[in-house]
Amino acid sequence: MIRVEGLEVSYGETQSLWDVNLEVDRGEAVAVVGSNGAGKTTLLNAIVGMLRPRKGQILFDGHRLIGLSPHQVVRLGIAYVPANRELFPQMTVLENLELGAYCNIREKGPLLGFIFRLFPRLEERKRQFAGTLSGGEQQMLAIARGLMSRPKALLLDEPSTGLAPLLVQEMYRQLQQLRDEGLTILLAEQQVPTALSFTERAYVLENGWVRLSGKSKDLLEDPSVKRAYLGVA
Ligand SMILES: Nc1ncnc2c1ncn2[C@@H]1O[C@H](COP(=O)(O)OP(=O)(O)OP(=O)(O)O)[C@@H](O)[C@H]1O
Ligand SMILES: [Mg+2]
């Protein structure tokens, strides 16, 4: 469904991604893991059209994404939940959700029904300003707003950042429900064990290069992954 080929991205003189190749099949959950500055956000930003790569190809469902604007990428069926969530704090939960449905406003009613079944807490708080929600609720709202565009694939950057461990578990349970409904998921995480436990396959990025890739359960057992990311001597 998503195919990245030979991707290279630079910020001015500094190159941040080198010959990155990645694939996500329909219905699959895939992780991109790696430490600070590895290039995870850069990769997601390039896929959703927020950065123009200097080389390579990005395909989604057979469409070439490079050169498209972020809203054209949304229309093709990709929703992006950025690390800083980019909610509108002075708007209500409901208004934030409605903004997510800007490209299919006619389906707003049924979509809200679906979202409130998945996140009952958001329905309870729908008249509250987004800025007054807890960190966990804000992350739920950011995911829910992405779902309002009826995406085929959901991209998440560091979804567990800033959440207490119990909330991280709850959020991943909700993502699991979305997977069960057939949604394709690509997520970037610094919390390597969490990401590897949730996904089928993963890519390990280091300094802009894919150093390792494979089944997540194999990577969890890989000695170099254990040493570098799982705190095992
Ligand atoms: N806007 C920018 N201008 C210049 N350099 C940037 C910019 N954004 C990122 N970089 C550089 O690109 C490299 C990759 O950064 P990126 O944010 O993609 O990493 P990351 O894996 O998402 O890190 P983190 O886990 O901290 O979010 C880093 O060296 C970073 O300094
Ligand atoms: Mg990042």
- pLDDT, tens digit, 9 for 90 and up, residues 149-185: 999 999 999 999 889 889 999 999 999 999 999 999 9
User: Cα(8)–Cα(23) distance, rounded to whole angstroms?
Assistant: 16
Rounded to 5 degrees, what are φ and ψ at 12? 60, -125
In the reported structure, the alpha carbon of residue 85 is separated from the centroid of ligand 2 by a whole-number distance in angstroms of 12
Predicted pLDDT of residue 232: 66
- Counting as low any pLDDT under 70, the low residues of the chain are 104-105, 232-233
- Residue 157 CA: which ligand is closest? 2
Asked if 51 and 45 count as a contact pair (C-beta separation under 8 A), the reply is yes
pLDDT of residue 105: 65
Give the pLDDT of residue 108. Answer: 80
| Res 233: pLDDT | 56
CB atoms within 10 A of CB 230: 14
The pTM of the full predicted model, rounded to 2 decimals, is 0.95
**Measured distance CA(204)–CA(190) in Å, rounded:** 10
Q: pLDDT digits over 186-199, tens only?
A: 999 999 999 999 99
Could you give the domains of the chain?
1-77+152-233 (3.40.50.300), 84-150 (no CATH)
Q: Strands, E, within 95-180: which ranges?
A: 153-157
Answer yes or no: is the C-beta of 184 below 6 A from any ligand 1 atom.
no
Q: Is the minimum distance from the CB of 11 to ligand 1 under 6 angstroms? A: yes
Closest CA to 149 of 102, 91, 92: 102
* Residue 151 Cβ < 6 Å to ligand 1: no
Q: What is the pLDDT of residue 162?
A: 86
Q: Which atom of ligand 1 is nearest to the CA of 208?
A: 14
Helix then strand then coil, % of the chain, to nearest 5 = 40, 25, 30
What's the DSSP call for residue 92?
A: B
Inter-axis angle of helices 93-100 and 108-118, nearest 10: 120
Which of 7, 8, 9, 11 maximizes ligand 1 atoms within 8 Å of its Cβ, making it the mutation to test the pocket?
Answer: 11
* Strands of 184-189's sheet in order across: 78-81, 153-157, 184-189, 29-33, 201-206, 209-215
